[in-house]
Homo-oligomer: A and B are copies of this chain.
Amino acid sequence: MAKIQFSKGVNEEVIPKVSLTRSRDGNSGTATFYFENPEALANASTGDVTGMYLVDEEGELVTREVKAKFINGQPAALEATYLMKSKQEWDRFMRFMERYAEENELGFNKA
């Protein structure tokens, strides 16, 4: 089980593109999630987006760094940034991503 939520308890079913960067020493990194037309924007007011929650059997990771991209005055995409500040945080995040990738048939690709 690995789910992404923008409001607690509400699974986002649109699959993001995820790009990764990592510092040379491996001790910090950034994951950027890009969702085109996510359900979180279609179903509710954007006020309901309280963060991005990455939920799996180990627990929950959360970031408050979520921005909406507007096209013609309408929110059309969500971009969320998740920061990792240690090797432990990177490894924990990658365990989530492996589970999420597996459930949603993601692979590794050039962004």
Contact = CB atoms under 8 A, between A and B. Distances in A.
Interface stretch (A5-13, A48-56, A70-78, A95-103): A95-103
> How many copies of this chain does one complex carry?
2
B106 A111 contact: yes
Contacts of A21: 102, 105
Contacts of A100: 108
Given A94-B98, A98-B94, A107 B109 contact: yes
A107 B20 contact: yes
Residue among A94, A97, A110 facing the most chain B CB atoms (10 A cut-off): A110
A109 B20 contact: no
A92 interface: no
Nearest to A111: B107
